[in-house]
Structures are given as C-alpha cells and as structure tokens.
Amino acid sequence: MARVLVTGGNGFIGGHLVGSLLERGDEVTVYDGAPPAGGETAAGARFVEGDVRDADRLGAAMRGVELVYHLAAVVGVDRYLSRPLDVIDINFSGTRTVLDLACRTDARVVVASTSEVFGKNPAVPWAEDGDRVLGPTSANRWTYSSSKALAEHMTFAFAAQHGLEATVVRYFNVYGPGQRPAYIVSRSVHRALNGLPPVVYDRGGQTRCFTYIEDAVAGTVLAGTMPGAAGEAFNLGSESESTVGEVVDLVVELTGVATGTAAADTAAAYGRAYEDLARRVPLTTKARTVLGWKCETPLREGLERTIAWARATPWWLELPDSGAG
C-alpha cells in the first residue's frame, strides 16, 4: 500500500487510474480543479479541489504522499484551438509546481505526456528518443505539443539537477468509457447513439494506434512502481495501426445504427490553425522490456465495451457534442 496523489484524478484517464490504485489498496488523494463530469470522485478516495498551479493548496494535499501521478492538463483539439493560453500555462506551470513540491517532499512522480510531442515527424514508428517535428508558433495547434514537451524537459531537468525520481508516460489515442465526446472514438460513439452520423475528417486515411483505457492505466501504474522506470520516458500505445475511417466504420457497425457517416474538412473548419497528422505510431519495445507492458485489448473489444458503457450512461449521452474529433 502506498500514499498516492493523482492530479487530474477526476478526468478520464485519472478517474480510471484512481479506481485501479484503490483496487490495489493504495491510499489515494485526488487533486483536481473540478469534480468528475458524471458525478463523484471514486468512493474511497479523498478529493481536494484546487488548481494545480496553486503551490500552497497542492503542497498541503501532498503532505505525506510518496507517489504522485500528474495528469491534470488542458487536453483536446477543441481546447487547444480555443484556449491556447490556458493550455500553455496550466500544462507548463502546473507541472512546474508538481515537480517542485515533489522534490521538497521526496515523492516519486509520473508525468502524463502525449504522442503529440513527436508532432508531425513522418518517420514512424516513433521510438522514445525520436525527433520532434513541429509547425510554426503562430499555429495554436502546436501549443499542446510544445507545453507537454516542455513539461517533459522540466521533468528530466529536475531529475538531473535535484535527483527527483520521475518517469514520463506518453499516451497514444486512449479511448474508453467516460471520455469526453470530443475525440475520434468518443465523439463517434456519442453521435451514433444520438442518431447523428459520426464525422470522418479529411477522408479518414490518417492512421492512429487506439489504446484502450485499461491498458493505458496498467502502463501508468507500472511506470510509478517498476524500479527501472525512473528517469525514463515510455510510449504507451497500441501496436495496431488503424485508419480513422476504419474506426468510424467499426463504431457504426457495432452500434448498429443507420446513420452512415458525414465528411468534414479540417482546413475548411479551422483554417491554418489546425494541421492533422498522417500517421501516429509508437515503438513500444521499451515499455515491453522495462515495464513488462503491452496494449492487450483489441480495438473491436475495446469499442464494444465503450459502446456498452455509453448505452447504459444517459448523462454522458446527453453531453453536448464537443466539435473537433
């Protein structure tokens, strides 16, 4: 049993992570700026409401904590196009605050990062030390990638200068029950079950490696516990590459609705502010070797479980459609 704090523990991945830590018998504090979308923080966890940039409040919540999973962030295409300043400030300053406090209290830290740090590097699959290839700073689309990359830099810098024990995990298109309907899978399921055609952007030929939430959580837990993980970054992603069009078609098939699909053009919708990626594929050898982790859940099974949850969850179906998927 460990005393653990999860920032962003009321969010999608954080909520599932908290459930898994509680099952393991950990004593869990959730630190988040808001309650969970659908109700209450997981039973058995302590919830402290606060901003991750508030060092006094977070410091008080972290007292006695041995391990911090830092997931609080501003996430999602709709948000990094509409709130680029919040993306930069919260993802950068929030991480700075967490790392600083962890140093003072000798807590170990796992920092949630993203496949977006690789930007549009065409040389897939991406190893952890692959290059970052980004567009111009005038495009808000890159604020998320840059803020998370800076958070990673800071993590390794704190380790180098202050001996902080810290690990970075980079998620690749995580999906599953509870995700805000603003991403390819969640938005497609949400639209299909509401009788609307799921949207296929830019003809749907772009590829992603969809990672089921339970797998992402298992890798995250291991990153905080395996001895060889400190000081390292890990790609946590499925090895199975699918086109966006295939995934949307599968959602339509599994929901059994007769909506068909709708086509959309990101250039027309967002102009030059947005740029989609042709392929996003992780190399996962390092996670396999050091963490003993791989994504186990096939896409069809993960989608079936997500759809079954969505059908049984009226409040989620009633959420507004969040636009960019």
Ligand X SMILES: NC(=O)c1ccc[n+]([C@@H]2O[C@H](COP(=O)([O-])OP(=O)(O)OC[C@H]3O[C@@H](n4cnc5c(N)ncnc54)[C@H](O)[C@@H]3O)[C@@H](O)[C@H]2O)c1
Closest CA to 199 of 213, 181, 176: 181
Distance in Å from the first CA to the final CA of the chain? 38
Residue 260 CB, nearest approach to ligand X (Å): 26
Residue 166's SS3 state is strand
**How far is it, in rounded angstroms, from Cα 44 to Cα 37?**
18
Report the residue from 1, 34, 258, 268 that binds ligand X according to the rule CB under 6 A: 34
- Interface residue with ligand X, options 4, 5, 6, 8 (CB under 6 A): 8
90 lies in the site for ligand X, by CB under 6 A: yes
How many other C-beta atoms can be found within 10 angstroms of the C-beta atom of residue 241? 17
Cβ nearer to ligand X, comparing 31 with 270: 31
How big, in percent rounded to 5, are the helix, strand and coil portions of the chain?
45, 15, 40
Residues 142 to 171 in contact with ligand X, rule: CB under 6 A: 171
Please, are residues 154 and 96 in contact by the beta-carbon 8 Å criterion?
yes
**Contact track, ligand X, 96-135, x by CB under 6 A:** ----------------x-x---------------------
Residue from the set 75, 81, 87, 209 that interacts with ligand X by CB under 6 A = 75
With CB under 6 A as the contact rule, the residue among 61, 74, 110, 247 that binds ligand X is 74
- Using the contact rule CB under 6 A, the part of the chain among 70-78, 156-164, 290-298, 311-319 near ligand X is 70-78
Other residues' Cβ atoms within 10 Å of the Cβ of residue 210? 27
Q: Which of 31, 69, 80, 144 is catalytic?
A: 144
Interface residue with ligand X, options 2, 20, 48, 51 (CB under 6 A): 51
212 near ligand X, judged by CB under 6 A: no
Give the Cα separation of 18 and 172 in Å (integer): 20
d(CA 115, CA 124): 12
**For residues 259 and 275, which CB has a smaller minimum distance to ligand X in the complex?**
275
Binding test (CB under 6 A) with ligand X, winner from 52, 61, 159, 251: 52
Reference 39, options 176, 175, 182, 178; nearest CA is: 178
69 is catalytic: no
If binding is defined by CB under 6 A, does position 173 make contact with ligand X?
yes
Q: Report CA-CA distances (Å) from 276 to 119, 141, 157, 174.
A: 10, 9, 31, 17
From the list 68-76, 248-256, 276-284, 301-309, the region that binds ligand X by CB under 6 A is 68-76
d(CA 68, CA 64): 11
Residue 6 or 271: the one with the smaller Cβ distance to ligand X is 6
Question: Does residue 87 belong to the site contacting ligand X (CB under 6 A)?
Answer: no
| Nearest 10 degrees: Cα torsion 307, 308, 311, 315 | -90
CA distance 276 to 50: 33
Count of residues that interact with ligand X, criterion CB under 6 A: 25
Among 103, 109, 159, 174, binds ligand X (CB under 6 A): 174
Task: Select 171 or 270, whichever has its Cβ closest to ligand X.
Answer: 171
Q: Does 73 bind ligand X (CB under 6 A)?
A: yes
Decide if 21 contacts 30 (C-beta within 8 A).
no
Catalytic residue IDs: 144
Residues in contact with ligand X by the rule CB under 6 A: 8, 10-14, 32-34, 51-53, 71-75, 90, 94, 112, 114, 171, 173-174, 180
